[in-house]
Amino acid sequence: MIAGMDPNELQRMIETGLPGATVQVRDTTGGGDHFEALVVSDRFDGKGLVERHQLVYNALGDAMRARVHALSLKTLTPAQYQSRR
């Protein structure tokens, strides 16, 4: 059995892969393998939903395949995030 992840570890990985991003991660089941994440990055400007998700998945690398079973993403540009507030 492969160990789950801590939400803080997942957050750090995304922040490392997308420098300058604001990231919030929550473990949705308490088991360390189902998460939801809010990622706000200017790297998302001009990109569609699939491209945004690919940027996050690339930041997670092997962890996405081996340690994370489910990840619900909300990916926003800073302008989109500000307009929600």
In this predicted structure, what is the pLDDT of residue 63?
Answer: 83
Q: How do residues 2-40 score in pLDDT, each as one tens digit?
A: 567 899 999 999 999 999 999 999 999 998 889 999 999
| Structural domains of the chain ordered from first start | 7-84 (3.30.300.90)
For the chain, the C-alpha Rg in angstroms (whole number) is 13
Q: How do residues 32-57 score in pLDDT, each as one tens digit?
A: 889 999 999 999 999 999 999 999 99
CA-to-CA distance for 40 and 76, rounded, in angstroms? 5
